[in-house]
Amino acid sequence: MENNFPVTREGAYGDNRYTVYRPSNPQAVGRPLPVLAFGNGACAHTDGSEVVRALTFIASKGFVVVDTASVNGSANGVPSGSPIPSLLTGAITWAEREQNRSGAPLAQRLDLTKVATAGHSCGGLEALVAAQDPRVRAVASLDSGFFADGSFGYPRSEVGKLHSPALFMDGGTGDIAYANNQATYDLATVPAILARHPQAGHTGFITGSQMTDGMTVVVHFLDMTLNGNQTARTYLLSSSGLAAKYPWTVQRKNF
């Protein structure tokens, strides 16, 4: 959280399905960069404008974020509106190629043992399903969760397939995903955190005044799970950390 690197936002080399957010000078970070594959709200696979501020924030802390949308919102052949988890696993595969592409800004600058998925709303479903990939070491689900009726083809039994630590965030009872988020957390058997900000509603973490608060939680979670940062662990798991910050409430288990 002490970092504030300048960020470059650009189209993914050779694949117009993705937008990449990265520290402009990867070498300045001083260590290989973890990778986050991100799915957008409404499973928007072309227009990623809604998440620019949030993903720039994450990248500025020393992460590479690969978002599932075109850099300029142009047509890329991918339909929007329904989850396509393979887009997130494909984003990880893109990062693997970029790591070995001669002359790439990120060549040999990535740490591919430190990979996470995350997403907002419908994109959170993408992230939770994609997190079943063995390359994924952590998953963050924002204002999302599986539906009781198995909407979009993914029943709540999918939660049992998670193998890595998980973060579940919602904006309180005013968040349309409130019940799904709680139920998904309740069913999780992996180390899990539920972080709730009752003023954020469904979009506050992405586009509202709670964006910095929300993305700060996400960064701490990534720092704890991918980088092994003990300060981040204390912030998320101790009673004197996030749980003591009004108006947040925090549940945690299996750590």
Q: What is the pLDDT of residues 114-138, one digit of tens each?
A: 999 999 999 999 999 999 999 999 9
pLDDT for res 37: 99
Give the integer Cα–Cα distance in Å for 197 and 42: 21
pLDDT for res 185: 98
Domains of the chain: 7-253 (3.40.50.1820)
Mean pLDDT of all residues in the chain? 98
Q: How far is CA 62 from CA 4, 6, 88, 109, 224, in A?
A: 8, 10, 20, 11, 13
pLDDT for res 142: 98
Q: What is the DSSP letter of 56?
A: H
With pLDDT > 90 as the criterion, what percentage of the chain qualifies? 99
Residue 66 · residue 20 · CB < 8 Å: yes
With pLDDT > 70 as the criterion, what percentage of the chain qualifies? 100
- Interhelix angle 52-60/211-227, nearest 10 degrees: 40
Q: Which of 41-45, 74-78, 166-170 has the lowest mean pLDDT?
A: 74-78
**pLDDT tens-digit profile of 70-81?**
999 999 999 999
If pLDDT is split at 50, 70 and 90, which confidence band does 239 have?
A: very high
